Amino acid sequence: NAGVTQTPKFQVLKTGQSMTLQCAQDMNHNSMYWYRQDPGMGLRLIYYSASEGTTDKGEVPNGYNVSRLNKREFSLRLESAAPSQTSVYFCASSVQGMLDEQYFGPGTRLTVT
């Protein structure tokens, strides 16, 4: 039981490049989330998926797109990376909805130059 896994662990992009961050969970959870963590700030919600087939914007969605590929997988795409998107990105999941305890992945450290 791996819990929540994220790939890659590290990534460096040039401004304007695109990439997709992958997240998968093996806990049979219905809800999944993407957060970003910046120095001196708390984690902030980018997008979430309450259940397979649904996605909703969080606090800071601009510049990102998401895909809930199936119940296990939830990806985050940066279409045209900007230096302001340099951050650590965390994926999380919960059994059923936001009010349940959330379990986090190890994070992806992204640098945009």
Partner 1 sequence: KQEVTQIPAALSVPEGENLVLNCSFTDSAIYNLQWFRQDPGKGLTSLLLIQSSQREQTSGRLNASLDKSSGRSTLYIAASQPGDSATYLCAVQGGAGSYQLTFGKGTKLSVIP
Residue-wise over 69-103: b if at least 16 C-beta within 10 A, else e?
eebbbbbbebeebeeebbbebbbbbbeeeeeeebe
Choices 18-26, 64-72, 79-87, 103-111 (CB under 8 A): range interacting with partner 1: 103-111
Choices 16-24, 43-51, 65-73, 76-84 (CB under 8 A): range interacting with partner 1: 43-51
Could you say which of 45, 60, 69, 95 contacts partner 1 (CB under 8 A)? 45
Neighbours of 49 (CB within 10 A): 21
Query: Strand, coil or helix: what is 59?
Result: coil
Nearer to partner 1, 17 or 73 (CB): 73
Helices (H) and strands (E) in the chain, counts: 0, 11
Tell me if 27 contacts partner 1 by CB under 8 A.
no
Residues that bind partner 1 (CB under 8 A): 4, 40-45, 58-59, 90, 92, 97-99, 101-107, 109
